Amino acid sequence: MSTLKLASRLDVIKPSATIAVAQKARELSAAGKDVLSFSLGEPDFPTPESICEAAHAAIRAGATHYTTARGVQELREVIVETSAKRRGGVRHRPEEVVVTVGAKHALFNLALALYGPGDEVIIPAPYWVSYPEQVRLVGATAVIAETTEEQGFRLQPETLRAAITDRTRALILCTPSNPTGSAYDADSLKALLEVCAEHDFWIIVDEIYGELIYGGFENRSALELAPELKDRMVVVDGVSKTYAMTGWRIGWLLAPTQVANACDTLQSQSTSNPTAVAQYAALAALTGPQEPVVEMCAAFERRRDLIIGRINAIDGLHARMPEGAFYAFVDARALVGRHAAGKRIESDVDLAGYLLDEACCALVPGTAFGAPGYLRMSYATSEDQIETGMARIAAAVAKLS
């Protein structure tokens, strides 16, 4: 067996917990178990037919070759127009847009382009699992800024101010949030941006869930609220969540010219262009009928109300009502320390394992998101599955002593 080693940079990162849980659930399903997955963050709806038809047409028209590394001009122009409408008229140029292989790729490009050894990047917790791992992979330090459920899982200005040092290179915000579903209203976001304005660092705002908002909540973009910070703000977005296009892998970033050019250069030496036909599918998504998005949002809102009600009816579990995305973030700390079949539940990781084994329901432990004692449940699944899954979970929790 070879004694050759892997690169040491891999020592600082861990595999994605969400993908790991989904994989274990698939393996159990393949073994004949009736596993209900509440783990992966993707809509269960099919990609709208108009988008699929546009992809077929693009193939027939010859969209099967290289494009420019940063994406086709037509798509970038439409992204500019769409962004301006969604962000209070603040406008970018097509040269300030880089189309990427999903929003995760946009964030990875930004990590390579903006952070390095000795830099610090502030990340509110609970956080999406890839934020700190990408920061660590490039040799920078992830500075975790804690939030609480009582604060709506929103970063507070005083917490942000306390986390800033002379090494702070960037702040990463996600609104609405994965994993909590929390979103910043205008006042809370303005308060954070006022602190940012006092210092000189990059502001990276992940708005991939920005169109998935419920209950009349008014979602506002940081770019709209602080256009004067445009020269050091980067917005990350894409079609994955809004249009049920996770597998098409099209995201993008809107950034100052120097950042966009740097990411374009990185992309030209790594992936080259995102898949050509997928770019034209994304173009159709942005310019085509939006009724499927409205219908999907309405379904998510019904599911949100259903799952939160079922969670809060179980003794020992609690979840706040999220403003957006499609996640319930479940406070399960009251169950840690209980016993099942003579075995003590020591952590949220143990609890998630117990629920997978006992209830055949796959949830993601909150530890993966920097929130021990919590569980993340995706409600991007049918109401029938939610009802069945919550009944199983209730029965499994009732067995804990």
pLDDT tens-digit series, residues 258-311: 999 999 999 999 999 999 999 999 999 999 999 999 999 999 999 999 999 999
Q: Is the pLDDT of residue 198 over 80?
A: yes
Q: Is the pLDDT of residue 192 over 90?
A: yes
Kindly state the tokens that stand for 192: 């954070």
Band of the pLDDT at 29, cuts 50, 70, 90? confident
- Compute the distance between CA of residue 349 and CA of residue 364 in angstroms, rounded to an integer: 8
Supply the pLDDT for residue 1: 72
Integer-rounded Cα Rg, in Å, for the chain is 21
Q: Hey, do 8-46+292-398 and 65-287 end up sharing a CATH topology, with the first three levels equal?
A: no
pLDDT tens-digit series, residues 142-173: 999 999 999 999 999 999 999 999 999 999 99
- pTM of the predicted structure, to 2 decimals: 0.95
Q: What is the DSSP letter of 314?
A: S
Q: Which residues sit opposite 319 in a β-bridge?
A: 330
* Nearest Cα residue to 252 out of 362, 387, 260, 176: 260
* Nearest Cα residue to 128 out of 68, 92, 164, 175: 175
- Compute the distance between CA of residue 130 and CA of residue 305 in angstroms, rounded to an integer: 28
* Nearest Cα residue to 300 out of 45, 47, 18: 45
Q: Is the pLDDT of residue 16 over 80?
A: no
Report the topology of domain 65-287. Aspartate Aminotransferase; domain 2 (3.40.640)
Supply the pLDDT for residue 95: 98
Chosen CATH of 8-46+292-398 out of 3.30.1150.10, 3.90.550.10, 3.90.1150.10, 3.30.1330.200: 3.90.1150.10
Residues 6+ apart with CB under 8 A from 198: none
Domain boundaries of the chain, sorted by first residue: 8-46+292-398, 65-287
